[in-house]
Amino acid sequence: MDRRRIEENIFKGLMIVSTIALCLILVLIVAAITFKGLPSMRLSMITQTPKGGFYLGKEGGILNAILGSIYLAGGATILALFLALPVVLYLNLYARRNGSIVRLVRFCLDVLWGIPSIVYGAFGFTIMLFFGLRASLLGGIITVALLILPIMCRAMDEVFSMVPRGLLEASYAVGATRWETALKVVVRQGLPGMITAVLIAFGRGIGDAASVIFTAGFSDAVPNSLFRPAATLPLAIFFQLGTPFPQVQNRAYASAFILTMIILFISITTRIVSRKYTRHIIK
């Protein structure tokens, strides 16, 4: 009897410690970038492009990278969504449930998910060379879209596979086609989950450095064309940290702070928006 209680307490302790550790990691990361980055934080950081000598600027800001990242991750997310939605609807509505095709596609998605982003970068670069393209915003968008496609697909797949069959049947029973059912019932029912999937994909896309290093390149100018190189925040952080000048290195933490804030902001707004759409959901 006593042994069982001890077991219970050990396990409880373990769970508490792990949970605290998890939260602590988040707090520490935010604290670190805040303390190291805040001294370099000025309004000019987010309103100006790099200026004033040194490699990548000790003055001015990183507006080029902020806008570059938002354009790039935004474009990639939209592109990936247009590719992911048909795949996921096919898996869940058209294909035979758990048939060999479905299993194969899911397996492919899992493998794709596991491929490191630098490999996507190298792959994107090869393709671009083949077509004679230079590093550009467009190249970055396409590469990042490929990178986040499996993530988005699997996240949405999870959501759509939870849609009750009875709900589909209810729609079929009044004479709806599969397409109508997909559009009006499944997407509606899965909307909050889809928003989360898109958010996860966007977060992954905006934070990835390796896939854009060759494909999007870097530029001090605010991106104004799909066919010109564009800066991104992760690369800005990477380059700033890599300089030998402490002033510029500190600005890397300010950049990291900005990147984290963007992700946090998007995460919170999506949550609020998706809550608005959950009121019709069938539980």
Is 194 among the residues that bind another protein (CB under 8 A)? no
* Min separation Cβ 110 and another protein, Å: 22
Which x/- pattern, by CB under 8 A, does the window 72-111 give for another protein?
------------------------xxxx------------
Q: What 3-state DSSP class applies to 195? A: helix
Taking each helix axis from N to C end, the angle separating 233-242 and 63-89, rounded to the nearest 10 degrees, works out to 140
Token pair of 158 as six digits? 């999870």
Of the candidate spans 81-89, 135-143, 158-166, 266-274, the one that interacts with another protein by CB under 8 A turns out to be 158-166
Q: What is the Cα–Cα distance from 266 to 268, expressed in whole angstroms?
A: 5
Of the candidate spans 65-73, 84-92, 145-153, 162-170, the one that interacts with another protein by CB under 8 A turns out to be 162-170
Is 196 among the residues that bind another protein (CB under 8 A)? no
Of the candidate spans 84-92, 116-124, 184-192, 240-248, the one that interacts with another protein by CB under 8 A turns out to be 184-192
217: left (phi over 0), alpha (psi -120 to 50) or beta: left
Contacts made by residues 6-11, CB under 8 angstroms, sequence distance 24+:
none
Among candidates 227, 219, 209, which has minimal Cα distance to 133? 227
Is 188 among the residues that bind another protein (CB under 8 A)? yes
* Min separation Cβ 107 and another protein, Å: 19
Q: What is the Cα–Cα distance from 238 to 241, expressed in whole angstroms?
A: 5
58-73 in b/e burial notation, b at 16+ Cβ within 10 A? bebbbbbbbbbbbbbb
Of the candidate spans 36-44, 146-154, 168-176, 232-240, the one that interacts with another protein by CB under 8 A turns out to be 168-176
Is 189 among the residues that bind another protein (CB under 8 A)? yes
Residues of this chain that bind another protein (CB under 8 A)? 96-99, 164-177, 180, 184-185, 188-189, 279-283
